């Protein structure tokens, strides 16, 4: 296939995406192939590279080995609805974090070992609890009320195996959170567990914090170590501390990102509103570096976090979602038309909607510019600035409020390629508004002689 005839990729200049080599080969170098996929599967189209999840898992697992720490990795399946990515996690030999019986079903369908599943959500149903206990999966208990529900289930059904439990602790820095338990509730659950060893297998503690600094995690680990000691005093042997997810990834170069944040103002947005918060798209750390720095961070005056875990005989568990799917997908929108507005600005209409690119729904923006793939003869148009909207009839339902600088005017049939969308970007809010069918996903596998094989991701 000749991908150079009558096609050109226009790379953005403001916030160009960082691209993995395999992804760049398609997103930048094979526009005709992309166009053929969109014509076959529709727009928007989500293109997934499952092998990149395996690579990311290997990179994360290598870090604790250097520190002598035993690591349990669970893929946060909520980050994406792709079955191919769940299957890749299973093939990589890691566990899966499931937040519903439906995610659990898909993980088991992908071949997951039930004992390598952990359920961390706060609102588990009785049906979900029954399935988790029956399969021997690990349950993170969010509250006293959830523990009492498990006790009632045990009395009613007398399952043939003990329920495997973590207790979710709420660190002092997260007192306003609705998730997890404070010290008094943890102590209550520990006493109950000590009296019900035939019904429950206590394995350790779990917590999750927002943000990306090491200091808050290290402090939370210090607090949890106090709970580990309290559990051991009453004969409960904690084996693992699960610190949840929240490992950072890099979408754009840090220097470009910092320069944009410093220079932007309300005029960069079609609604004249500057968002108050963004994901750190141009952060300085990738996930393996972040994990390395956490393990090397001080636990106390003489001990690192890694050394403290080793001294207490504890495994570390993490539940990355976004960082495991770093670079593992792109989302492709076909341009419908460009419209000039009365105020002199332009809007690019695409086949799709913000339900397939969700940051505007959270009063934020995806600070990564799309790649424009143009087809046919050169448009002969000067550079233009425009925001992007889809086929929704709602005036504020746009894919970007931010005004994007295009090197040339997009034309009907051109493609806008958003990179690195696997992490909460491409399918979190997807629906059939206006009765448009759900966007399709296809999984890419590299074939022989540099070829590319694709199949529906289901």
Catalytic residue among 135, 189, 358, 393: 393
Tell me the three-class secondary structure of the chain, residue by residue. Answer: CCCCCCEEEECCCCCCCCCCHHHHHHHCCCHHHHHHHHHHHCCCEEEECHHHHHHHHHHHHHHHHHHCCCEEEEEEHHHCCCHHHHHHHHHCCCEEEECCHHHHHHHHHCCCCHHHEEECCCCCCHHHHHHHHHHCCEEEECCHHHHHHHHHHHHHHCCCCCEEEEEEECCHHHCCCCCCECHHHHHHHHHHHHCCCCCEEEEEEECCCCCCCHHHHHHHHHHHHHHHHHHHHCCCCCCEEECCCCCCCCCCCHHHHHHHHHHCCHHHECCCCCCCCCCCCCCCCCHHHHHHHHHHCECCCCCEHHHHHHHCCCEEEECCCCCCCCCCEEEEEEEEEEEECCCCCEEEEEECCHHHCHHHHHCCCCCCCCEEEEECCCCCCCCEEEEEECCCCCCCCEEEEEEEEECCCCCCCCEEEEECCCCCCCCCCCCCHHHCCCCEEEEEEECHHHCEEEEECC
Number of neighbouring beta carbons within 10 Å of residue 264:
16
Q: Is 393 a catalytic residue?
A: yes
Q: How far is 328 from 320, CA to CA, in rounded Å? A: 14
For tokens 């509250």, what's the residue? Answer: 143
Q: Cite the active site residues.
A: 393
């Amino acid at each position: 296939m000749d991908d150079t005839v009558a096609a050109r990729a226009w790379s953005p200049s403001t916030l160009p995406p960082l691209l993995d080599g395999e992804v760049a080969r398609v997103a930048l170098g094979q526009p005709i192939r992309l166009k053929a996929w969109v014509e076959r599967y529709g727009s928007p189209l989500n293109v997934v590279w499952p092998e990149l999840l395996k690579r990311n898992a290997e990179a994360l697992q290598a870090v604790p080995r250097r520190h002598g720490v035993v690591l349990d990795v669970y893929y946060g399946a909520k980050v994406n609805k792709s079955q191919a990515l769940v299957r890749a996690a299973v093939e990589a030999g890691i566990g899966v974090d499931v937040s519903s019986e439906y995610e659990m079903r898909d993980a088991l369908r992908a071949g997951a070992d039930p004992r390598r599943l952990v359920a961390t959500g706060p609102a588990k149903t009785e049906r979900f609890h029954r399935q988790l206990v029956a399969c021997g999966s690990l349950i993170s208990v969010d509250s006293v009320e959830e523990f009492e529900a498990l006790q009632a289930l045990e009395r009613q059904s007398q399952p043939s195996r003990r329920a495997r439990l973590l207790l979710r602790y709420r660190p002092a820095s997260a007192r306003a959170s609705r998730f997890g338990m404070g010290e008094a509730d943890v102590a209550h659950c520990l006493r109950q567990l000590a009296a019900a060893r035939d019904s429950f297998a206590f394995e350790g503690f779990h917590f999750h914090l927002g943000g990306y600094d090491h200091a808050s995690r290290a402090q939370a680990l210090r607090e949890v170590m106090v709970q580990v000691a309290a559990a051991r005093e009453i004969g409960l042997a904690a084996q693992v501390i699960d610190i949840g997810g929240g490992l950072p990834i890099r979408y754009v170069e840090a220097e470009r990102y910092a320069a944009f944040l410093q220079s932007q103002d309300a005029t960069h947005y079609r609604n004249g509103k500057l968002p108050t918060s963004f994901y750190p798209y141009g952060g300085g750390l990738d996930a393996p570096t972040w994990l390395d720095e956490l393990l090397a961070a001080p636990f106390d005056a003489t001990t690192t976090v890694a050394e403290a875990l080793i001294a207490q005989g504890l495994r570390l568990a993490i539940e990355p979602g976004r960082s495991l799917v770093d670079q593992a997908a792109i989302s492709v929108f076909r341009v419908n038309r460009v419209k000039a507005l009365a105020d002199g600005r332009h809007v690019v209409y695409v086949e799709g909607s913000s339900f397939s690119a969700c940051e505007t729904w959270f009063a934020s923006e995806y600070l990564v510019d799309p790649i424009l793939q143009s087809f046919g003869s050169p448009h002969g148009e000067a550079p233009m600035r425009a925001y992007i909207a889809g086929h929704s009839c709602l005036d504020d339902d746009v894919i970007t409020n931010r005004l994007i600088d295009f090197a040339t005017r997009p034309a009907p049939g051109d493609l806008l390629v958003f990179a690195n969308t696997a992490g909460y970007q491409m399918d979190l809010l997807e629906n059939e508004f206006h009765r448009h069918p759900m966007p399709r996903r296809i999984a890419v596998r590299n074939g022989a002689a540099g070829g590319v094989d694709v199949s529906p991701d289901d």
